[in-house]
Amino acid sequence: MESTNSTENIRMALVQIEKLVKLYTTLAATPSLSNVRILNSLNNNLIIQSKWTQRNLETKNNQRFLIDHIIKSDCTEISSSFPVDITTELMSTMTHDEKFKAVLRQVTIDNSKKEFIEIWDKQYMVKNYDLSALDVHGSVYTDNEFSSFKWSPDSTKLLYIAEKKLPKTEPFYKQKPQNKKDNKDDETVIAGNEYIYKPHWGEQLVDKHRPVIVILDTILETITTLSEVPDDLSPAQVIWTKEQDIIGVAWKHEPRYLEKLSDDKCAVHSPRISPSGDYLVWIERNVTNMHHNTQRLMLRDLRSKETKNSIIVDIVQTSETIKKNKQFYGIYGRLSDRCWSDDEHLFFSTPQKNNIFSYIVNIKTKTMVEIQNESGSLNILDVKENAIAFLSTSLTQPPCLMVGCFQHTELNTGDIPKTVITTPLDLGLDKYMYEGNEYTYDNDDEIKQFNFIYFGPKSGKTKSVPFIIVPHGGPHSNYANTFSLDFSFLVSSGFALVLVNYRGSTGMGAATVEFLEGRVGNVDVKDCITAAEESSKKYPWLDPKRIGLCGGSHGGFLVTHLSAQAPDMFKAVVARNPVVNIALMFHTSDIPDCRNALSKDEKIKCLHDVCCATTGITCNVLESGGEPDPLLYTKMLECSPIAHVNKVKAPTLVSIGTSDLRVPCSSGKSWYHRLKTNNVKTKLLVYDDNHQLSSGPAEIDHIINDCIWLLEHLKKDDDAELENEE
């Protein structure tokens, strides 16, 4: 009898796994919209190129493809092309008149990856530059922080960022071919420098050491690296002016690769020039002790001889009222590559509480209006004259492309008519609901409000649905109403989710972000518990006796904290690359900070008001003789989950990446070993991946394992009793 039950249990487990794998493959087929370009009109029709990324489970890589859409002047679609694979394209750009296109392509030749820059006209490939053979620089940067790939206004030069070519090195002792011993024309090779440490820019930027500005001249057939940038600065995000000068961002990398500063102690991003070339805008934020915070939109008149900057949209402390009596909570996002419709109107998107809204700013009057949107999040991808391309998405709707064509009067009202161009895959998510919730404490806290999103069944029998509290990472980021494979997978597997934007999250003003300072492990934990309690009250089908936890990074910090501080409330835990000891992070993370463990006064006392690295403030431990007060480590330890580990009861699944530089994998291992010592059920998954655990093999494995763990430990009591009897 016992053998029969065991066999049946195995069969049921295999059936469950088969269903989960099928669910994952269905959701993974959803492509994500990564880029859009509105091309010049043809016969009064618009041509829009959309670029998409889709998981290819067979090759275990992401596949990229391009679709051309022909749109009428009234923004209705005439036709679209079949997708064209562009997986080997790293970047591409067209000249302003669209006569030439440059493509950065990576191909594998003789088991070695090589990069080429191809120049195309509308009929054939005009030129091809083998960057490896030319050997002027290292790999071209294609990431979101540094990269650039721009044609000059005269359509003859390409501007980009690449790795600086360093002198070749070899061992002190190495026998050489006899015919090369006396060859004086060979490149100088330095002996003994093979193992010198090369600092890099950290998590997901490990191959970024010394960026340089590069100009490819297609007429002279030359590739030149600019030497004008000082050695202690790393250039990034470079663009051309109409006079063919270069403007960009420069980040300090001395004494460590920690800061992203301008001369006036501001973190700067997204320089963008107006269509006429007369105005420059960018976004910046003050250098504070926060990883991220509210930003301001700045402008400079490039025609003026004075270097005077104007604030177009200032930093918002709580909220401000804009046109149509709408509340605005500040800028947190980046500007799209093309964000101007003309020299007067600029478009941008940014998270606001638990959604993403889009706005139009008049730089002359400094007034702003929200672009009307019926539901979901609306993200601006490209703007050209009176046409604008949007990404539309929500928790129940995968990304789709929308296009709006507007008249000048609609720039003042935000009532831009929009047309859906692509139809999202039907994943059956319309049977679920999402709802934003706000909670205000009745206490004396300076910041009393936080928000959370419910995502799950629309109804159900009383206490019939297990639910999961999911705090975000960061900590200074937020959850918005956008499609997520992870969340769709869990909800489709029978759970409801509560996505918590605790105090300290972005999207609610600078004061909310800064409120977490000195209160980490306290107010963020309290907000998650409150969200669980309030959700149980508002949605009666949720079962308060079957609450799970799931989170990564600072979200992992919170779920481990919650499992210790409220051990009887939560029944199962999934922690991905969790921060469990802030004191350990301080000297081992690629962003050696104190994770908001200290208040401003404590930072002044312990660190002379110079604490976190990624926050942009130079840490005094980097200065000669500088060491923090030992009290700093005590406070950081007291704020950490590891201080409460002996209270944990809930079964805990820990996932870590061996290449994680943000939260060293030793953090998750230490939590696992402490739980094992305390006889708490636990399991450790170790991936050859970085902080995100987003590579193909790692993603499918941890998502399915997470779900199995939660399903197993959030069963109804009668189900568990039945299994025990068997």
Question: Is 600 a residue whose pLDDT tops 70?
Answer: no
Q: Are the C-beta atoms of residues 541 and 460 closer than 8 Å to each other?
A: yes
pLDDT at position 621:
44
Question: Using CA atoms in the order 110, 51, 122, 116, what is the torsion angle rounded to 10 degrees?
Answer: -30
- Provide the residue count of the chain: 726
Q: Region 542-570: what's the mean pLDDT?
A: 96
Give Cα 101 distance to the centre of its chain. Answer: 28
Phi-psi sector, 605: left (phi>0), alpha (psi -120 to 50), beta:
alpha
Question: Is 650 a residue whose pLDDT tops 90?
Answer: yes
Pairwise CA distance, residues 714 & 467, whole Å: 9
Pairwise CA distance, residues 713 & 705, whole Å: 12
pLDDT at position 607:
45
Question: Is 331 a residue whose pLDDT tops 50?
Answer: yes
Pairwise CA distance, residues 647 & 567, whole Å: 7
Q: Are the C-beta atoms of residues 668 and 578 closer than 8 Å to each other?
A: yes
pLDDT at position 614:
27
Which amino acid does the sequence have at 23? L
Domain chopping of the chain, boundaries: 88-167+197-257, 261-426, 433-581+641-722, 598-639
The better pLDDT of the pair 696, 503 is held by: 503
Q: Are the C-beta atoms of residues 322 and 352 closer than 8 Å to each other?
A: no
Which element (helix H / strand E) includes 584?
A: helix 582-588
User: Bridge partners of 367?
Assistant: 362
pLDDT at position 326:
96
- The three state secondary structure string of 469-513 is EEECCCCCCCCCCCCCHHHHHHHHCCCEEEEEECCCCCCCCHHHH
Q: What pLDDT, in 10s, does the model give residues 221-231?
A: 999 999 888 88
Q: What pLDDT, in 10s, does the model give residues 165-223?
A: 988 888 888 887 776 555 555 567 888 888 888 877 777 777 888 999 999 999 999 99
% residues pLDDT > 70 (the chain): 89
Q: Are the C-beta atoms of residues 590 and 202 closer than 8 Å to each other?
A: yes
Q: What pLDDT, in 10s, does the model give residues 508-542?
A: 999 999 999 889 999 999 999 999 999 999 999 99
pLDDT at position 591:
67
Question: Is 416 a residue whose pLDDT tops 90?
Answer: yes
Pairwise CA distance, residues 181 & 190, whole Å: 15
Burial state string for 13-35 with b = 16 or more CB within 10 A and e = fewer than 16: eeeeeeebeebbeebbebbbbeb
Question: Is 1 a residue whose pLDDT tops 70?
Answer: no
pLDDT at position 192:
82
Q: What pLDDT, in 10s, does the model give residues 233-279?
A: 899 999 999 999 999 998 877 655 444 435 467 888 999 999 999 99
Q: Region 143-166: what's the mean pLDDT?
A: 95
Question: DSSP of 137-204, one letter per residue?
Answer: SSPBP-STTT--EEE-TTSSEEEEEEEPPPPEEE-SS----GGGTT-TTSPPEEET-TT-------TT
Which element (helix H / strand E) includes 56?
A: strand 46-56
pLDDT at position 418:
92
Q: Are the C-beta atoms of residues 354 and 478 closer than 8 Å to each other?
A: yes
* Identical topology for domains 261-426 and 433-581+641-722: no
Residue in 186, 227, 192 with CA at minimum distance from that of residue 210: 227
Residue in 559, 555, 630, 636 with CA at minimum distance from that of residue 592: 636
Pairwise CA distance, residues 66 & 143, whole Å: 19
Assigned token pair, 386: 């009176």
pLDDT at position 269:
92
Pairwise CA distance, residues 297 & 300, whole Å: 11
CA angle at residue 507 from 506 to 512, to 5 degrees?
Answer: 60
Phi-psi sector, 614: left (phi>0), alpha (psi -120 to 50), beta:
alpha
pLDDT at position 312:
97
| CATH fold of the domain at 261-426 | Methylamine Dehydrogenase; Chain H (2.130.10)
Pairwise CA distance, residues 119 & 172, whole Å: 42
Question: Is 637 a residue whose pLDDT tops 90?
Answer: no
The pairing of strands 387-394 and 377-384 is antiparallel
Question: Is 616 a residue whose pLDDT tops 50?
Answer: no
% residues pLDDT > 90 (the chain): 67
Q: Are the C-beta atoms of residues 139 and 207 closer than 8 Å to each other?
A: yes
Q: How confident is the model at residue 651 (pLDDT cuts 50, 70, 90)?
A: very high
pLDDT at position 168:
86
Phi-psi sector, 530: left (phi>0), alpha (psi -120 to 50), beta:
alpha
What global pTM score does this model have? 0.91
Q: Region 119-131: what's the mean pLDDT?
A: 96
Assigned token pair, 285: 């934020």
Question: DSSP of 524-579, one letter per residue?
Answer: HHHHHHHHHHHHHHH-TTEEEEEEEEEEETHHHHHHHHHHHHSTTT--EEEEES--
pLDDT at position 615:
25
The better pLDDT of the pair 54, 44 is held by: 54
pLDDT at position 167:
85
Question: Is 720 a residue whose pLDDT tops 70?
Answer: no
* Owner of token pair 């930027």: 205
pLDDT at position 183:
54
pLDDT at position 459:
96
Q: Region 110-138: what's the mean pLDDT?
A: 95
Q: How confident is the model at residue 86 (pLDDT cuts 50, 70, 90)?
A: very high
Question: Is 723 a residue whose pLDDT tops 90?
Answer: no
DSSP 80: E
Sign of CA dihedral 501, 505, 506, 510: positive
pLDDT at position 2:
55
Residue in 331, 288, 293 with CA at minimum distance from that of residue 613: 288
Pairwise CA distance, residues 485 & 479, whole Å: 14
Question: Is 618 a residue whose pLDDT tops 50?
Answer: no
Question: Is 103 a residue whose pLDDT tops 50?
Answer: yes
Q: Region 431-455: what's the mean pLDDT?
A: 96
Class of 433-581+641-722 in CATH: alpha beta
Average pLDDT of the residues of the chain: 88
* Cα Rg of the chain, angstroms: 27
Q: How far apart are the first and last CA of the chain?
A: 9
Q: What pLDDT, in 10s, does the model give residues 258-271?
A: 444 354 678 889 99
pLDDT at position 180:
59
